[in-house]
């Protein structure tokens, strides 16, 4: 009689444990459409130039905690003629701004896009990019994946 009761008890315990395992291994929520899992953008702002029609710049902080190695290769800004990722580097013993090489991202990477360093140059900004509005910025990664975020549009002279 004991053996007859032991089998159902063992089965019930096994099913209970497998239910706990299913809960513990539930996949994390999928990233929002147009974003990369593990990538977070903070303090995003587009600062307009003091002279209308001159290039603007996008600054932000990026952190990446994803498992897959990635590389940012380009950017787009809605409401601009074009955009390009720039960096400041030394060339011929002078500091110069130029198009950035691809920016590698691995788990734990933090990158500051800031004045005097990496930033997105925004060429031919339209009137739609007005102070107080937001701009849709898209980072384009090697392989074609994208990560979109909103940047607050600020006028020249505001905190960059």
- Contact criterion met (CB below 8 Å) for 94 and 64: no
pTM score above 0.85? no
- Contact criterion met (CB below 8 Å) for 13 and 127: no
Question: Residue 9 falls within a domain, yes or no?
Answer: no
Per-residue exposure over 58-85, b if at least 16 CB sit within 10 Å of its own CB, e if not: bbbebebebeeebebbbbbbebbeebbb
Residues 65-120 have pLDDT tens digits of 999 999 999 999 999 999 999 999 888 888 888 999 999 999 999 999 999 999 99
Count: domains in the chain: 1
Question: Residue 145 falls within a domain, yes or no?
Answer: yes
Q: Which domain holds residue 95?
A: 39-154
Whole-number Å distance between alpha carbons of 102 and 118: 11
Question: Residue 19 falls within a domain, yes or no?
Answer: no
């Amino acid at each position: 009689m004991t053996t007859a009761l032991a089998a159902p008890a063992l089965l019930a315990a096994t099913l209970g444990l497998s239910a706990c395992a299913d809960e513990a291994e539930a996949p994390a929520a999928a990233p929002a459409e147009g974003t990369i899992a593990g990538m977070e953008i903070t303090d995003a702002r587009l600062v307009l130039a003091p002279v209308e029609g001159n290039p603007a710049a996008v600054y932000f902080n990026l952190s990446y905690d994803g498992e897959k190695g990635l590389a940012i290769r380009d950017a787009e800004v809605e409401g601009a003629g074009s955009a390009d990722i720039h960096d400041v580097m030394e060339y011929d013993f002078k500091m110069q701004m130029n198009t950035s090489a691809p920016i590698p991202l691995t788990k734990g990477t933090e990158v500051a896009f800031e004045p005097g360093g990496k930033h997105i140059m925004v060429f031919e900004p339209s009137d739609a990019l007005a102070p107080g509005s937001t701009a849709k910025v898209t980072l384009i990664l090697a392989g074609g994946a994208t990560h979109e975020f909103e940047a607050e549009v600020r006028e020249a002279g505001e905190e960059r």
